[in-house]
Structure 1
Amino acid sequence: MTAPVTGLLTRLLGRLPIGWLQLTHNRGRLAAAIAGVAFANVLVFMQLGFLGALISTIRLPYQALAADLLVLASDANTLQDGSPLPRQRMLEALSVPGVAAATALHYGRLDWKQPDGTVRTLDVLGVDPRARSFSLRAIERQRDLLTLSRAALLDSGTRNVPPAVFEAIAAGQTLHFEAGGRAVDVVGTFHIGGGFSADGYLVVSDQTFLKLFPQRSAGAPNIVLLRAEPGTDLDALARRLRAVLPASDSAVRTVAEAVARDQRFQTTQRPVGVIFGFGVAMGALVGIIIVYQVLSTDVADHLREYATFKAIGYGQRFFLGIVFEEAVILALLGFIPGSLVATGLYALVTAAVGLPVSMDGFRLAGVLLGTIAMCTLSGAVATRRLARAEPAALF
């Protein structure tokens, strides 16, 4: 197998592929090095996968809202963490030219205890069932059902709920459960999917919401959903709204701005996002250390041969070329199994916990380039001893 590769590399490099021959000379060391690079790749891929899933799940509830602009509390970084707004802000927003419709959204969270004793955390969205609040057809089709007392629609993407539960609801059966000492009747389903902070979503009317959260007030929603008149410049409309609504308690954002702010906050200031970013750095560090150990050992083993080349006039660039050749080969050979293993693990995680962890071309290309850079950096550090060595002192 090595002979065809040697011939190919000879044609590509225009010289004998010394780095390849040195790597393949010790098959055990080569296998250990490939395994180390692959392991570092898997670490980086998994952390990037979780970080990507976090970013994707943050976007999901925003995409389900029928809104062009959002009015949130001035202290809100996410959909969940803002203070309640005075309902008056909705009426003030409606008076601004370009606003076609406005509706209030109440946001809360409750625990749903399962028959086996485990708990599912649900983000609860309370809306006026007479107004269009969601872009999801499944919710719009069943919106009239929410006018019934205690009626709710349950997210069929809720984590770790048996499929039979949703099949029974789809067949017309009502699911009854209690949450916070209050009864809930699930009469239909829709699909958004759980995230890192909650297992799924529950949509109820604003009146049912106030029964589930008696400490909340009808006059203090969390968010106001605004729909603009067709053809309206959203940025200009946002500026007009900011001029009308007091900045002391409210903030006007386009949906894209709200999503970006939420993602930035949760990936840079919330522990889970910081941990995933730190994991990427640690995976890269592991790879650098492993490749450095392999390449520095290889340089040490062939120091006399390198000294001979140095004595007859070969410069540092020649030796860097050999070590970089080894580094790139290790990067490519380690990337292939690492990416395959990571793709398999992505599928397992998605099946086990329902998070949208998936491989894409940008991630593959980014990790490949990062792996090559990681191995090349290790190679550059590994040649420092050779650069300082004097040929006469090596014999």
Structure 2
Amino acid sequence: MILKIPLPWLQLTYKKMRFLVALMGIGFAVMLMFLQLGLRDALFDSAVRLHKSLECDIILLSPLSTASIAMQSFSQRYLYQALGFEGVESVSPVYVDFGVWKNLKTRRARLIFVIGFNPTKAVSNLPDIPNNINQLKLEDVALFDRASRPEFGTIPDEYNQGERVIVEVSGHRLKIGGLFQLGTSFGSDGNLIMSDDNFLRVFTHRSKGLIDVGLIKLKSGTNAQWVLANLRKNLDKGVKVLSKQGYIDFEKNYWNTSTAIGFIFDLGAMIGFTVGTVIVYQILYADVSDHLSEYATLKAIGYTNHYLLGVVFQESLILASLGYLPGMAISLALYAVVKNATLLPIAMSFSRALLVLALTVLMCLISGVIAMQKLRDADPVDIF
């Protein structure tokens, strides 16, 4: 009979303004957790988009390389040694570096991430590259990332209007022969793709024999783990051997552990969780205090502590559920704002929505457990 009485709901809504303030506080905490975790994931996703697009199974790096923004060159002879291993079908050297981009109209300079490879080989599965392979083969021609920051100029618009687009990178004039889309990251604001020959023309201090990334493609049906172990065992120790997923994890680990950025976002999410816990505790504590005599009456007529604790727990779950939805809605709007402002790939994911929901419920339950200590004061003898 008593379960049919919505006592937790009536308790919470008895003072409607306090109830609304509680939901706003929980919504703010939920929004803060969503925003921090979303930015952290966007950081990781933007950092590995190039990695995911690479057409390979195994990657060679210098042991001194720490991330794509801090690559160290190594001799390409290691890559061609790998070509002699069983199961290896082909290899492709890749060059990466930051060039000084100069907007010829504004004369403003900024760094741009440059990727160079042999255009006769399939290196990346980015959809626009195959259509522009012939352009990449031309001297002093490059492809521009249409998702680069607007500070690089109106290159995509000029190109789409049929204009001849000439740019300057590290003092070298280049023609934009096509567009592709990779996107910005925390490490780079824009990207260029060019042939390995053009790369070496732009970066005159670089040597053709020293590469930054070595891509290894295996024959169909080959056991990738076996080849990976064989390369690690028999290839010279002057090179690091990673699987494609290992290369992705390598990049993510750098941003998560070797910089303050990952820690800051995690800390922000923890602060949101803590703020929400305090807000819910204050609301539940005030609610229990205001209705202490009613709780004592329920005890006097035979209701157990378990029932009263259940009421507070149900109030916690109600607050968690109703506070989560507006917090999530606000987060979706903020994601859109951040994406438009920064061009980062921030979006809601099911796993993140589930994680924040679980954190919200946990946050409210912890608050409920603490607030329930006040119920010990609900003694009918003392109250009456």
TM-score normalised by L of structure 1: 0.90
Q: Deviations over 1:48-81 (max 9, x none)?
A: 2112212221231012222121111123343332
Deviation at 1:137, TM superposition (A): 4.1
Counterpart in the other structure of 1:340:
329
From 162, 187, 193, the counterpart of 1:197:
187
SS in structure 1 opposite 2:192? strand
Q: CA deviation at 1:344?
A: 1.2
Quick one: distance in 2 between partners of 1:89 and 1:261?
20
- 1:19/1:312 Cα in 2 relative to 1: closer, same or farther (>3 Å)? same
> For residues 84 and 243 of structure 1, what CA distance do their matches in structure 2 show?
21
- Please give the per-residue CA displacement for 1:325-359, whole angstroms capped at 9, x wherever unaligned: 11111111111111111111111222222111111
2:234 matches 1:239: no
Among 304, 318, 323, the residue aligned to 1:329: 318
CA drift of 1:367 comes to: 1.6
Query: Partner letter of residue 21 of structure 2?
Result: A
Aligned residue runs from structure 1 range 1-395, under 5 A: 14-114=3-103, 115-116=105-106, 120-160=110-150, 164-247=154-237, 249-387=238-376, 390-395=379-384
Q: CA RMSD in A?
A: 2.2
Instruction: Report the alpha carbon displacement of residue 218 of structure 1 after superposing the two structures with TM.
Output: 1.6
Assess, with a 3 A threshold, how the Cα gap between structure 1 residues 332 and 118 changes in structure 2: closer, same or farther: farther
Instruction: Confirm or deny: 8 A CA contact 1:64 1:192 kept in the other structure.
Output: no
TM-score by length of 2: 0.93
Measured after TM superposition, the shift of residue 214 of structure 1 is 2.7
- Displacement, 1:166? 1.0
1:186 counterpart letter in structure 2 = I
Give the counterpart letter for 1:273 in structure 2.
G
**Would the aligned equivalents of 1:195 and 1:355 in 2 still touch at CA under 8 Å?**
yes
| SS of corresponding position for 2:67 | coil
Q: CA deviation at 1:202?
A: 0.7
> By how many angstroms is 1:46 displaced?
0.8
Deviates more, 1:139-148 or 1:15-24: 139-148
Distance 1:365 1:61 in 2: 28
* Secondary structure in 2 matching 1:287: helix
Structure 1 residue 141: Cα displacement: 2.8
| Shift in Å, 1:161 | 5.4
Contact 1:170 1:188 in 2 (8 A): no
CA deviations on 1:219-256 (whole Å, 9 max, x unpaired) are: 11111111111111111111121122222x21111111
Contact preservation (8 Å) 1:145, 1:151:
yes
Q: For 1:240 and 1:45, how far apart are their aligned partners in 2?
A: 43
User: Could you tell me how far apart the structure 2 residues matched to 1:316 and 1:262 are?
Assistant: 53
- Whether the 8 Å CA contact 2:31–2:328 is kept in 1: the answer is yes
d(CA) in 2 for partners of 1:274 and 1:250? 30
Where do 5+ consecutive residues of structure 1 fail to align? 1-9
CA deviation vs aligned residue, 1:242-291 (integer Å, no higher than 9, x gap): 122222x2111111121122223312332212211111111111110111
Residue 298 to residue 69, structure 1, CA distance change in 2 (3 Å): same
Distance 1:376 1:224, change over 3 A: same
Corresponding residue SS for 1:138: coil
- Aligned residues, how many? 383
The 1-side partners of 2:326 and 2:174 are apart by 49
Residue identity matched to 2:199 = F
TM-superposed CA distance for 1:390, in Å, is 4.2
Corresponding residue SS for 1:142 = helix
Q: Distance in 1 between matches of 2:270 and 2:257?
A: 14
Q: Point out the more displaced range, 124-133 or 249-258.
A: 124-133
Q: What SS does structure 2 have at the residue aligned with 1:350?
A: helix
The answer to whether the 8 Å contact 2:145/2:182 transfers is yes
